[in-house]
Structure 1
């Protein structure tokens, strides 16, 4: 047997040199042939040819585990090995021997991490089966040792692999030195030195099953030949038993054979009868055919001659080209007066070509005359299509130029002009039928025509929109100065400019009213005129005017067609063409939006509602461009309004940099006025836009208010309660009808109550500090000492009955004056006088609650001591 390339030391050294620097060790290297074709099937030559490669198994030791790789190396132009591909053996999922290869030397390796599983993996072909088994055996051993798992093996039995490994494992001679210095050779198999083959390739359960199977036989199986002889003897015994069973059923077989013999005789009799009848019938049929042929030969010949003459007459009629049609198809006259003749000529040309292609016998197609006439018709078709396309391109451009040069078609100073395309559509309809025939003759010619029409009409539409937009802004009477809100320089309760700016939103609504239906009509007319096979809003031959019911019905039909995916390619082409037709007109709509924003930013609310109404009315159109335009307008209006809200919020935040604020901040009453006007502008679904603005405004207002309050903690609570009260008072009416403002109203109410509580507690403790500190000390001591023992605690100074009397004398001797001082202190720092009555009531209630708690403590700790009763204190407060 030839030496295997796996034992080639030079090959191994070349592989190690190719992967030098990777810190990997070559375990096995072997030469293979790489192919991509399939055995027994044709393939491309480059893919079918075998390419020499070297497969190398390498390992790389890590701290915790060892990684195994399968490397593919190829020969460079200089015959040097260089790396081509590398696979990680942990991703090896399947090893499959190709069954189409009769030698069994071809196999494939399947990896589960390849990007394209649809591409067939390469096939590796070895020199012989021993090389194949050696490589696969090495791969399986490494997968078992390093990865603790085996890939799926297809096309080869692992038991046969184990037996081959046992028989072909080379002996390894080792020398053991004895004590006297002599070496003794010992022989061991490579498998014993490394790993047990059967353990790796056959699982423990499979090994036990095979042992149990082999154990059922009495004789020991030492060699495969003995085992085979045993199986043959048992097979012969089983066959003899089967023959004996068959012989026992001999009487039954004899009866069946007798029945079969009787049936055979019957079948033979029937066959003889049928043969006789068949001969007689064949003779009769031959006689009848010969008689019919002799009698009908002349008649059939006459019929065939008449049919041939008729067919030739029809063929000549089809091949003839009338002179008047030929002149029309090759002429240059496409005026309106000549359109009827041109249409008739085109109809004849289409029908003639259909007759030649569809309604003619296939045998005629090979005739020279038919081929020549077909060529003439093709020349007529191409000539007519070229001249008609050139005429229509020039016609569109010239008519649009005529309209562009006539100022009466556009808005002029002091006069808004509604675009009127009636003349244009009338002229176009003259050639609508011609376009339909051009599509039938050559569908590709419509592309340049559509492009030319879109480019020409786009100039007209943009000119009309620009002139209309300019005159609309010029003629609209609007305040010259922009409306300003939430400016810090204005008074607390006034607005800079509250002039009526409704004309601004009316102007925006007017340009939408004029141009949105126009754009929808133009889209629909273009789709029908240019022969797009999509449903349109305007029925063929319509005037462009339609009712709401017709719109809804057509919209529903379009939605059904779009859902079913019908004519998707045509719809995509239509959208692309309409982009050229209407692109650029949106700039004039943007100009109106920007102009309205500069005059009154709040009018963005009204314009947003107007846009939403038009957007909801445009369920679908011939292309969807109008819906996209309205969506862009809505986005631009929202962006402008958001910019205004951000600027206003920035104005509110500027209060942080001012000197300490006193009283109500100016932006609170101005916000109430702003919210009132914003509510007047809401229409449609603009509620969300306004609610988002409210949320931004109020959040910044409250945050700024809290920051300003922290600049002077001494007066922080007074500042907060006055401003939160002003917020509630100014937004009381709106909060009852606007849920978003109601939420902030309740938030301000809670903050107001908290500020009132803190401020009142500070005033009470300022006047009656000793009284309530004494009560607090008693409450703290009651956690550890019984109440009746508190006056007698020697370690607790200041809580005896004498101390109580001294404290009562100092705190309550002039209680009326202290209460009056408390009122004056509450009044002193309060800028909003209208808040004083409610605050004083809260202050008296809080004082009574605290004094009642103090009286209960005294009655519990000092039972014999008398203090002013709660009722007396309540009467005193009521009298003040």
Structure 2
């Protein structure tokens, strides 16, 4: 039998050299084949598989020892080099492959391999002895170092133990310490001792030997052995029963002791029940005492809290005598207003204090509280009635005093600017009172607002009436006639129209004075009478139409110097119903004042209707400066003024259009109509009055004027069809000449300018064609007949048609072109005869010559195509003849 590689010291030294520096020691090394290989008799690998060396190594770290399984392979230099390293603590299974009949192939399974799906490598040993030596070494190391054995599959541990015993020489003095580390050099005796120690204990081994010995010496068959074991079992059970019966006195003694102990326990349980009952009764008494004590304590605390609450309630229900006297019979003079305000504040606070949110709901139905609430309501009603009556009389007295003073209004020779500073100052004294009246009773403000509006309306209307009357009386302006476009008026009557700018200046002054005044009055009224709306004119605003300087000292007249009382006052402008009520009150405050503005507009219209354009622009500027808020009446007033101005201007436009339409009633019209140059003068002056505003108003007037002018012109032209084209072209030319400059800057007039230009060209074309056909009728009729026939027959057949032969052509040329210079002269004279505007003749004659040459050129091309052998005067000769004339 060949020597095993496990005993090869050279192999072990080669393995140690390969792992030099790792601080590990080689315990066991042996040559193996990776995969299924076949070993030769000489111990060399013949084929299949790869030669490897498996080695067991250990590494000590303190008291701990680690074990590793190393795989070595041969390098190119013939030395061993490390290939794989496994930690034996992860070894989970040792399995001998059953497919190998020799039993020399096995696998080692580790539980920490990354890919468990890949089968572990198979190791094939040279013989069974080498396999058993390697596996026994691995199992012994696992048991010694890790304290556990891996799972062994495909081999019996007892078989391995028997093999180890058979292959170990009987040496009695070779034993290793049970828990010591494995020796560095493993011999046969070491393997034997290790197997006996770890796999089967010494006692188990002796029992197995005795059993096996008995089996060998006395038993021939398994059935007889089984019968013997049953008899021994029955003997053992009988012996156990006998032993139990012998111990009966001891059991009786134990039972007597247990009975005595049971009697003591029952006595103890009875005493404990008695004590428990007494303790329960005592606990109930204690709980009853504690409950009574807690109730007394709670009652004491509640009584104390009730007394405090009642004291607070009594203090809340007390009405100070000074406040009661002030509310029921105090004076409203300016010196007493501070006391009235304090009384109001106390009354409002007292009423709020008796409301449910501020008063405990438990007190709300107390009789004393109800009586006190009724008393406070009575005080409130009395005070509100007295204050409202005083304020109504006070507003009326203020206005009556101002109206009775005539020096306060405009007088003859002196325009007086309305000044309400003193009125507002006196009203501010009672602004705080109105705030408190609103908080006490909102319904009282309605009559007060009506009284204030009624009184102040008289003052405002009187101021506007006196101012408007004196404004008209002091304005000097000569009246311009409204007959602008009438034919009967002299041509120069409107050329030097009088300057009426003072009229529009007077209207602007009326707006400058009164529009800011009305806005300020609206704003002051809204805040004085406690409407929940935003300020109408912010400081530095443009309520006066963008003209600073009006009432600069009173720029903050709408600021009453008071704080909001109601919490809801901070939500100004969000209540549309409040805004509607304000505008309704402003209607009462300012209604009627518009009549004086209308009077100024009507007066200005009578002096100069064109001043409506300027007034319209002024009104638009003021209207764009007003906000769409509580000053609603001022916007309505400006809107009504704008509509009235537009209506008056519309009347002027309608009258002027009526004057234009009168021209068609004349039986015979010659030359340029009179309203065309007059319209240019009117448009020039209208453009001067626009001043950057009222563009739409003027453009609408232009559209209406020009539409009527063109319609009337066409109607007049139809009265005499013979001269209609001459009449039209002269008037359209005059329209273009008179509006040339304005059409360059006014888009609306430019549109009508182009319309007149197209109508002029059409009239010229018709008139020139008529003159040409009058002189050369046969020539162009001959050409028209040829053109008509060319639609139905070929050009070669045309000379054979009746009246179109070459002889007919020669006759026609002789009659038409024999005295062509005279015919052209006659054409010029006819053109000159019908024209009344000599300046149009050169351009018309040029158009006539061009039109004649175009027609003759077409005729010459027809002749060359139909009568190629015939000779006619060329187009060049005809052009030279026309140029010489």
TM range (shorter): 0.5 to 0.7
Q: Which residue of 2 aligns with 1:338?
A: 336
SS at match of 2:325: helix
| Offset of residue 705 of structure 1 | 0.5
CA distance in 1, matches of 2:570, 2:693: 28
Match among 775, 788, 805 for residue 767 of structure 1:
775
| Separation (CA, whole Å) in 2 of partners of 1:471 and 1:282 | 112
Rounded to whole Å, the distance in 2 between the matches of 1:651 and 1:496 is 18
Tell me, yes or no, if structure 1 residue 469 matches structure 2 residue 460: no
In the alignment, the residues of structure 2 paired with residue 438 and residue 747 of structure 1 have an alpha-carbon distance, to the nearest angstrom, of 70
Superposition pairs of residues 399-548 of structure 1, within 5 angstroms: 399-492=398-491, 495=494, 498-537=497-536
Write the distance in 1 (CA, Å) between the matches of 2:745 and 2:820: 47
Paired with 2:714 and 2:845, the residues of 1 have a C-alpha distance of 24
* Corresponding residue to 2:699 among 688, 691, 714: 691
Change (3 A) 1:339 1:855: same
Q: Tell me how large the CA RMSD over aligned residues is.
A: 3.0
Structure 1 distance, partners of 2:431, 2:641, is 34
**1:485-533 per-position Cα deviation (integer Å, ceiling 9, x unaligned):** 2122224565266222222222222111111111111111111111112
* Aligned twin of 2:46: none
- Between the aligned partners of 1:293 and 1:354, the Cα distance in structure 2 is 42
Q: Name 1:861's counterpart in structure 2.
A: 866
Correspondence 1:751 to 2:749? no
1:120-269 paired onto structure 2 within 5 Å? none
Compared CA separation, residues 730 and 538, structure 1 to 2 (3 A)? closer
| Residues 634 and 538 of structure 1, relative CA distance in 2, 3 Å threshold | closer
Evaluate the alpha carbon distance shift between residue 828 and residue 281 of structure 1 in structure 2; reply closer, same or farther with a 3 A threshold: farther
Which segment is superposed worse, 392-401 or 335-344? Answer: 335-344
Give SS of 1:416's match. coil
Q: In terms of mean alpha carbon deviation, does 473-482 or 298-307 score higher?
A: 298-307
- Alignment partner of 1:778 is 2:786: yes
Cα separation, 2, equivalents of 1:545 and 1:288: 86
Q: TM-score, normalised by structure 2?
A: 0.62
Change (3 A) 1:750 1:427: same
**TM superposition shift of 1:418:** 1.5
Residue 350 of structure 1 is matched in structure 2 by 348
Equivalence map 1:387-398=2 (5 Å): 387-398=386-397
Residue 480 (structure 1) shift: 2.9
The whole-number CA distance in structure 2 between the counterparts of 1:641 and 1:786 is 68
C-alpha change, 1:755 and 1:452, in structure 2 (3 Å) is same
Shift of 1:684: 4.4
- 1:298-321 CA-to-partner distances (Å, cap 9, x unmatched) read 766665555454444434333332
Change (3 A) 1:409 1:621: farther
Structure 1 residue 580: Cα displacement: 0.8
| Cα distance in structure 2, aligned partners of 1:871 and 1:411 | 86
How many angstroms does 1:783 deviate by? 3.6
Distance 2:278 2:604 in 1: 108
- Contact conserved, 1:484 with 1:495, CA < 8 A, in 2? no
Note if contact 1:493-1:670 (Cα within 8 Å) is conserved in structure 2: no
Q: Deviations over 1:126-171 (max 9, x none)?
A: xxxxxxxxxxxxxxxxxxxxxxxxxxxxxxxxxxxxxxxxxxxxxx
The number of aligned residues is: 588
Q: SS at the partner of 1:357?
A: coil
Work out the CA distance in 2 between the residues paired with 1:790 and 1:564.
96
Give the number of the structure whose alpha-carbon radius of gyration is greater: 2
**Offset, 1:717:** 0.5
1:236-292 deviations in Å (ceiling 9; x for gaps): xxxxxxxxxxxxxxxxxxxxxxxxxxxxxxxxxxxxxxxxxxx99999996665454
Counterpart contact for 1:484–1:496, Cα < 8 Å: no
Q: What displacement does 1:293 show?
A: 4.9
Pairwise CA distance, 1:697:
0.9
Match of 2:630 among 622, 629, 637: 622
Give a deviation string over 1:679-725, Cα, whole Å, max 9, x none.
12224452111111111111111111010000000100000000010
Question: Residue 744 of structure 2 is aligned with which of 718, 736, 739?
Answer: 736
Give the match's secondary structure for 2:319: coil
The 2-side partners of 1:284 and 1:507 are apart by: 110
Correspondence 1:697-708 to 2 at 5 A: 697-708=705-716
State the 1:657 CA deviation: 0.5
In the alignment, the residues of structure 2 paired with residue 512 and residue 757 of structure 1 have an alpha-carbon distance, to the nearest angstrom, of 56
Equivalents in 1 of 2:555, 2:279: separation in Å?
A: 80
Q: Does 2:691 correspond to 1:673? A: no
Instruction: Indicate conservation of the 8 Å contact 2:533/2:572, yes or no.
Output: no
8 A contact 2:454–2:588 mirrored in 1: yes
After superposition, residues 574-653 of structure 1 pair within 5 angstroms as 574-653=582-661
* CA distance, structure 2, for counterparts of residue 858 and residue 571 of structure 1: 89
Deviates most, 484-493 or 387-396: 484-493
Q: Which of residues 793, 816, 822 is equivalent to 1:817?
A: 822
Which of 827, 849, 852 is the equivalent residue of 2:857? 852
Q: Provide the rounded CA distance (Å) in 2 between the counterparts of 1:308 and 1:834.
A: 115
Q: Do the aligned partners of residues 457 and 815 (structure 1) sit closer, same or farther apart at CA in structure 2, a change above 3 Å counting?
A: same
Check 1:294–1:766 CA distance in 2 against 1; reply closer, same or farther (3 A cut).
closer
Alignment of 1:877 with 2:882, yes or no, is: yes
2:838 maps to 1:839? no
1:116 alignment counterpart: none
Q: What SS is found at the alignment partner of 2:354?
A: helix
Distance in 2, Cα, partners of 1:487 & 1:576: 48
Q: Which residue of 1 aligns with 2:125?
A: none
In 1, Cα distance between equivalents of 2:856 and 2:510: 73
Counterpart contact for 2:773–2:780, Cα < 8 Å: yes
Supply the distance in 2 between the matched residues of 1:857 and 1:657 (Cα, whole angstroms). Answer: 49
Q: TM-score, normalised by structure 1?
A: 0.63
Structure 1 residues 583 and 872, CA gap change in structure 2 (3 angstroms): same
Structure 1 gaps of 5+ residues are 1-278, 552-560
Q: Secondary structure at the match of 1:499?
A: coil
Paired residues for 1:256-405 under 5 Å: 289-293=287-291, 303=301, 306-331=304-329, 333-358=331-356, 359-405=358-404
Residue 753 of structure 1 deviates from its aligned partner by: 0.8
User: SS at 1:681's partner residue?
Assistant: helix
| 2-structure distance, mates of 1:386, 1:285 | 72
Q: Deviations over 1:387-441 (max 9, x none)?
A: 1111111111111111111122221112222211111111111011111111122
